[in-house]
C-alpha cells in the first residue's frame, strides 16, 4: 500500500471517528484537523490534497468520473470530455485543465447545461484551449454545472 493511500485511510478513519464521537451528542458538531477550535463543519489547519487524475482522449467521449483535479489530454482537436450528471452529484466540484498546448478539448455533460459564472445562459459544450478556458472549476448545483475560468 502506498504512503498516500495510508495517509488517506488514516484521514478517513480520523474523520469518521470524529464525526461519530461528535454527532452522537450534538448533531451539528464541528471537526478540526490540527486545530482544537474548529470554526466550520470541517476545519483543516494545514494543507489539503485532492485526487489528481489525467485523462487521455479517445475516439468516444471520455467520462470524468474520478478525482478532483482533472488534467485532460486531448489527442485530436475538439476531443470530448464529459462531466457526470449534476443531478446525481449535487455539490460536486471538479478542477479541470487542458494540458495540451495546441489541441482544443470539448467539455460536455451527460445531463443539464454548462453555465458560466454569473450567467443565465447555458450551453451544451464549452471549448478549452490555450488562452481561453484553459483551466476551469465546475460545480454541480444539482441540475446543471456552473463553471469559473
| Residues 57-82 pLDDT 10s | 999 999 999 999 999 999 999 999 99
Q: Which of 1-5, 41-45, 137-141 has the highest mean pLDDT?
A: 137-141
- Cα separation of 68 and 8, whole Å? 14
Residue 27: its pLDDT value, please?
55
Which pLDDT band holds residue 6 (cuts at 50, 70, 90)?
A: low
Lowest mean pLDDT among 21-30, 37-46, 103-112: 21-30
**C-alpha grid cell for residue 11?**
484521514
Residue 115: its pLDDT value, please?
97
Residue 11: its pLDDT value, please?
72
- Cα separation of 145 and 93, whole Å? 9
Rounded to the nearest 5 percent, the helix, strand and coil shares of the chain are: 15, 35, 50
**C-alpha grid cell for residue 124?**
451544451
- Cα separation of 14 and 20, whole Å? 10
Greater confidence (81 vs 131) lies with: 81
Kindly report the pTM of this predicted structure: 0.75
| Average pLDDT of the residues in 130-140 | 92
Q: What is the pLDDT of residues 32-43, one digit of tens each?
A: 999 989 999 999
User: What pairs with residue 132 in β-bridges?
Assistant: 129
Amino acid at each position: 500500500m502506498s504512503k498516500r493511500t495510508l495517509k488517506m485511510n488514516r484521514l478517513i478513519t480520523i474523520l469518521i471517528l470524529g464525526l461519530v464521537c461528535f454527532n452522537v451528542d450534538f448533531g451539528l458538531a464541528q471537526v478540526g484537523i490540527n486545530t482544537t477550535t474548529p470554526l466550520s463543519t470541517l476545519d483543516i489547519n494545514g494543507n489539503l490534497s485532492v485526487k489528481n487524475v489525467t485523462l487521455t482522449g479517445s475516439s468516444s467521449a471520455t467520462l470524468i468520473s474520478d478525482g478532483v483535479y482533472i488534467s485532460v489530454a486531448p489527442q485530436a482537436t475538439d476531443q470530448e470530455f464529459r462531466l457526470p450528471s449534476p443531478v446525481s452529484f449535487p455539490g460536486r466540484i471538479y478542477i479541470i485543465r487542458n494540458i495540451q498546448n495546441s489541441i482544443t478539448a470539448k467539455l460536455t455533460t451527460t445531463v443539464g447545461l454548462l453555465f458560466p459564472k454569473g450567467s443565465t445562459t447555458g450551453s451544451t459544450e464549452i471549448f478549452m484551449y490555450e488562452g481561453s478556458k484553459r483551466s476551469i472549476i465546475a460545480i454541480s448545483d444539482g441540475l446543471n454545472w456552473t463553471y469559473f475560468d
